[in-house]
Amino acid sequence: MSSPELRGSNLRPAVVRLMEELPVLPICISTLTRPDVDIDDHIDDILALAKVEPCLTIRIFQLAAKHFPSRAVTSVQQALMLVGSRAIDELIEVQSMARPFHPDNDEERCMWAHFVHVSIAAGMLAKVYGQLGVKPEAAEEAGLLHDLGRLVHYKHLAKSPSEIEMQGYRDPAELLQAEEAVFGISHVALGSVAAEIAHAPAYIRDCIDHHHSKAANIPRKTSAANGSLIELVAIADEIAMYCHRRPADDEDEFAKRSRRFMETRSVYVKKCRPKLEDVYEVLLSSLKQTQTEYLRLGMGPPPQLEYMDIQRR
> Which residues are paired to 23 by β-bridges?
none
Give the CA count within 13 Å in the CB-facing half-sphere of 285. 16
| SS3 call for 239 | helix
Alpha-carbon dihedral sign for residues 154, 158, 162, 164: negative
DSSP letter string, 8-42: GGGHHHHHHHHHTT--B-HHHHHHHT-SS--HHHH
The fold of 106-309 is: Hypothetical protein af1432 (1.10.3210)
User: Number of H helices and number of E strands within the chain?
Assistant: 16, 0
Alpha-carbon gap, residue 144 to 129, rounded angstroms: 19
Comparing C-alpha atoms, which of 46, 71, 72 is closest to residue 59? 46
At 43-76, the pLDDT tens digits run 899 899 999 999 999 999 999 999 999 998 999 9
At 219-254, the pLDDT tens digits run 877 888 899 999 999 999 988 888 776 544 455 777
Report H helices in 20-159. Answer: 26-32, 39-50, 54-67, 76-83, 86-96, 106-128, 136-145, 148-156
- pTM of the entire structure? 0.90
- pLDDT score for 167: 66
- pLDDT score for 123: 97
- pLDDT score for 156: 67
Alpha-carbon dihedral sign for residues 228, 229, 233, 234: negative
- pLDDT score for 230: 96
Domain ranges of the chain: 24-96, 106-309
Instruction: With a cut of 50, list the residues of the chain below it in pLDDT.
Output: 1-2, 4, 247-249, 306-313
